[in-house]
């Protein structure tokens, strides 16, 4: 894991509280699972039909009938349950998942999220992301602040097709943490060594600075 | 009367060109491998298939794609399949992307006799285009339609001779929903027992939804992403 990814993942795990039911998206969000402190009881949901994801199996113990939403072989934790896909999304859409941590391609200043499609490029599909963003009680997006060309991924409006409209509660990037409130987008944290001016320079979106703003 | 059949080719023999199929599975987990192989052998064309994914290039529904048997695919995620991408981009394959939860509910609804339902999923996104909306308590919802299949192909772990089904772990996924939504449901399993040998409590799919039961052997059960830790 690169240092940037590592810092985002370490910050994201702080969003998780004891007793929560949490859904982690595919990719970088999956890495958050490894950082959950021992002693916390957290049930991780996999939208293909499991509440209570455990660690990867010991070599040789893998079971083709037991995978996560990223199609990786996994195990279960004590107290886990299996269910069908309709039940799984009843949990998600019905507001029973406390927290979803998802990856992003673009986030807008009004909390819109785009993370599933680049027009004219590869067709992949949204999977369960559109259901998660409208259904989970709290949606946290984690992503790099700028793309590989140095352009801001935190936009005034998303250029890419949306996954959901005004759905993001919190955005965590390698540079900063933002909340999306009724008063708009608010900067609540910057990473150590990052100034507010630097964040402003790398952010297309307009935001205000929280009175409780901290440098980590 | 026993619902057990011996030949997969016979079980799929009345699936005609242009049929709509609902197929269980998530990725390559819990897919009806043997029914798909039989359909590939039969070579029926212009199929409309509703399934969460479309297999990979040489396994699962990918076998029917390579054979150009699928006209339209209704799915939520198709990222693992190069043939799919190619056929879609050059216009050979019609695709309806449906969010995973919406797709699951559309199949469940179809099987439960519910023609449509409202969901907040997809509001303000490309999948809302052309769909009716309605407000409930000040929030906007999309009208989504149920899906019914001429046939459903499902994979379960065990069946009894009356078609009662039991699934294993996350190989359950879309299978119980698909079983409900097929006018004719073909279930393939790894073990068939006499009626009465499964306890009523353990049955996931009541046999009323299932018309044909077949014993599959030599399941490939390919793992898409083998992830392990050191002991």
B214: Cβ contacts below 8 Å, ≥ 6 apart: B4, B5, B6, B7, B8, B11, B34, B35, B186, B187, B188, B189
On chain B, the residues whose CB falls within 8 A of the CB of A163 are 125
CA B191 to chain centre: 20
Q: Are strands B212-215 and B182-189 parallel, antiparallel or unpaired?
A: parallel
Name the strands in the sheet holding B182-189, side by side, starting at the edge strand that comes first in the sequence.
Answer: B4-5, B212-215, B182-189, B149-155, B20-23, B47-50, B70-75, B94-97
Domain membership of residue B128 (yes or no) is: no
Using CA atoms, how far residue B172 sits from A124, A125, A189, in Å, is 23, 22, 43
What tens-digit pLDDT sequence spans chain A (216 residues)?
A: 688 899 999 999 999 999 999 999 998 999 999 999 999 999 999 999 999 999 999 999 999 999 999 999 999 999 999 999 999 999 999 999 999 999 999 999 999 999 998 877 777 899 999 999 999 999 999 999 999 999 999 999 999 999 999 999 999 999 999 999 999 999 999 999 999 999 999 999 999 999 999 998
Does ipTM top 0.95? yes
Band (B89; pLDDT cuts 50, 70, 90): confident
Domain residues for B60?
A: 4-116+147-215
Compare CB distances from B228 to A46, A59, A89 and report the shortest one's residue. A59
Point out the catalytic residue in the list A47, A106, A109, A189. Answer: A47
Instruction: Give residue A10's pLDDT.
Output: 96
Both structure tokens of A66:
């037991």
Question: What are φ and ψ of residue A163, in 5° steps?
Answer: -95, -35
B225 and A93 in contact by Cβ < 8 A?
no
pLDDT in tens, A78-117: 999 999 999 999 999 999 999 999 999 999 999 999 999 8
**Mean pLDDT of all residues in chain B?**
96
Helices B100-112/A85-93 angle, 10° precision: 120
3-state SS, one letter per residue, for chain A? CCHHHHHHHHHHHCCCCCCCEEEECCCHHHHHHHHCCCCCCCEEEECCCEEEECCCCECCCCCCCCECCCCEECCEEEEEEECCHHHHHHHHHCCCCCEEEEECCEEECCCCEECCCCCCCCCCCCCCHHHHHHHCCCEEEECCCECCCCCECEECCCCCCCCECCCCCEEECCCEEEEEECCEEEEEEECCCCCHHHHHHCCCCCCEEEEEEEEC
User: Where residue A29 sits, what CATH number does that domain have?
Assistant: 3.40.1080.10
DSSP B92: S
On chain B, the residues whose CB falls within 8 A of the CB of A166 are 124
Torsion sign over Cα A90, A93, A94, A98 = positive
A65 and B228 in contact by Cβ < 8 A?
no
CA A55 to chain centre: 19
Residue among B96, B185, B105, B205 at smallest CA distance from A85: B105
Residue written as token pair 């990856």: A103
Domain membership of residue B166 (yes or no) is: yes
Domain residues for A20?
A: 3-215
pLDDT in tens, B46-75: 999 999 999 999 999 999 999 999 999 999
Instruction: Give residue A1's pLDDT.
Output: 60
Residue written as token pair 């409900």: B180
**Is residue A106 annotated as a catalytic residue, yes or no?**
no
End-to-end CA distance of chain A: 21
Distance CA(B175)–CA(A92), nearest Å, equals 19
Tell me the shortest Cα–Cα distance from B67 to chain A, in angstroms: 20
Domain total of chain B? 1
Both structure tokens of B78:
């198709």
Go through B121-136 and write b for each residue having 16 or more CB atoms within 10 A of its CB, e for each that does not: bbbbbebbeeeeeeee
Domain total of chain A? 1
Burial (CB count within 10 angstroms: exposed 0-12, middle 13-18, buried 19+), residue B67: middle
Both structure tokens of A169:
């509660």
B229 and A74 in contact by Cβ < 8 A?
no
User: Where residue B211 sits, what CATH number does that domain have?
Assistant: 3.40.1080.10
Q: Which of residues 163-182 of A touch B (CB under 8 A)?
A: 163-166
Instruction: Give residue A11's pLDDT.
Output: 97
Cβ contact B167:B175 at 8 Å: yes
Residue among A63, A128, A57 at smallest CA distance from B171: A63
Cβ contact A107:A155 at 8 Å: yes
Instruction: Give residue A117's pLDDT.
Output: 86
Looking at residues B191-205, what average pLDDT do you find? 98
Cβ contact A173:A204 at 8 Å: no
On chain A, the residues whose CB falls within 8 A of the CB of B180 are none
Domain membership of residue B199 (yes or no) is: yes
């Amino acid at each position: 894991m690169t240092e940037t990814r590592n810092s985002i993942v370490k910050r994201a795990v702080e969003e998780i509280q004891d007793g929560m039911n949490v859904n982690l998206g595919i990719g970088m969000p999956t890495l958050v699972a490894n950082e959950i402190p021992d002693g916390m009881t957290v049930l991780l949901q996999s939208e293909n039909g499991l509440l209570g994801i455990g660690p990867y199996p010991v070599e040789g113990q893998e079971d083709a009938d037991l995978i996560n939403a990223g199609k990786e072989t996994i195990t279960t934790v004590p107290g886990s349950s299996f269910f069908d896909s309709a039940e799984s999304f009843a949990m998600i859409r019905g507001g029973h998942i406390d927290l979803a941590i998802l990856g992003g391609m673009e986030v807008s200043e009004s909390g819109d999220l785009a993370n599933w499609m680049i027009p004219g490029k590869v067709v992949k599909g949204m999977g369960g992301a559109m259901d998660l963003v409208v259904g989970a009680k709290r949606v946290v997006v984690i992503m790099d602040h700028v793309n590989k060309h140095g352009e801001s991924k935190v936009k005034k409006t998303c250029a890419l097709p949306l996954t959901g409209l005004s759905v993001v509660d919190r955005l965590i990037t390698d540079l900063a943490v933002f909340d999306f409130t009724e008063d708009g987008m608010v900067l609540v944290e910057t990473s150590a060594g990052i100034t507010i001016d630097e964040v402003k320079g790398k952010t297309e979106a307009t935001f205000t600075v929280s009175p409780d703003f901290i440098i980590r | 009367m026993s619902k057990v059949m011996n030949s997969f080719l016979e079980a799929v023999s009345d699936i005609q060109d242009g049929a709509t199929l609902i197929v269980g599975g998530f990725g390559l987990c819990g897919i009806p491998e043997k029914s798909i192989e039989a359909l590939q052998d039969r070579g029926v064309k212009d199929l409309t298939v509703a399934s969460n994914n479309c297999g990979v290039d040489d396994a699962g529904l990918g076998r029917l794609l390579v054979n150009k048997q699928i006209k339209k695919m209704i799915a939520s995620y198709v990222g693992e399949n190069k043939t799919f991408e190619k056929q879609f981009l050059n216009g050979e394959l019609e695709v309806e992307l449906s969010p995973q939860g919406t797709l699951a509910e559309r199949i469940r609804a179809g099987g439960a006799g519910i023609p449509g339902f409202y969901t907040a999923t997809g509001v303000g996104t490309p999948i809302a285009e052309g769909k009716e909306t309605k407000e409930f308590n000040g929030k906007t919802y999309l009208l989504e339609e149920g899906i019914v299949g001429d046939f459903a192909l499902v994979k379960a772990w065990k069946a009894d001779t009356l078609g009662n089904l039991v699934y294993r772990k996350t190989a359950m996924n879309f299978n119980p929903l698909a079983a409900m939504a097929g006018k004719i449901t073909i279930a393939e399993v790894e073990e068939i027992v006499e009626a009465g040998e499964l306890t009523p409590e353990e049955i996931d799919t009541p046999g009323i939804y299932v018309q044909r039961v077949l014993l599959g052997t030599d399941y490939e059960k390919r793992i898409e992403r083998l992830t392990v830790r050191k002991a």
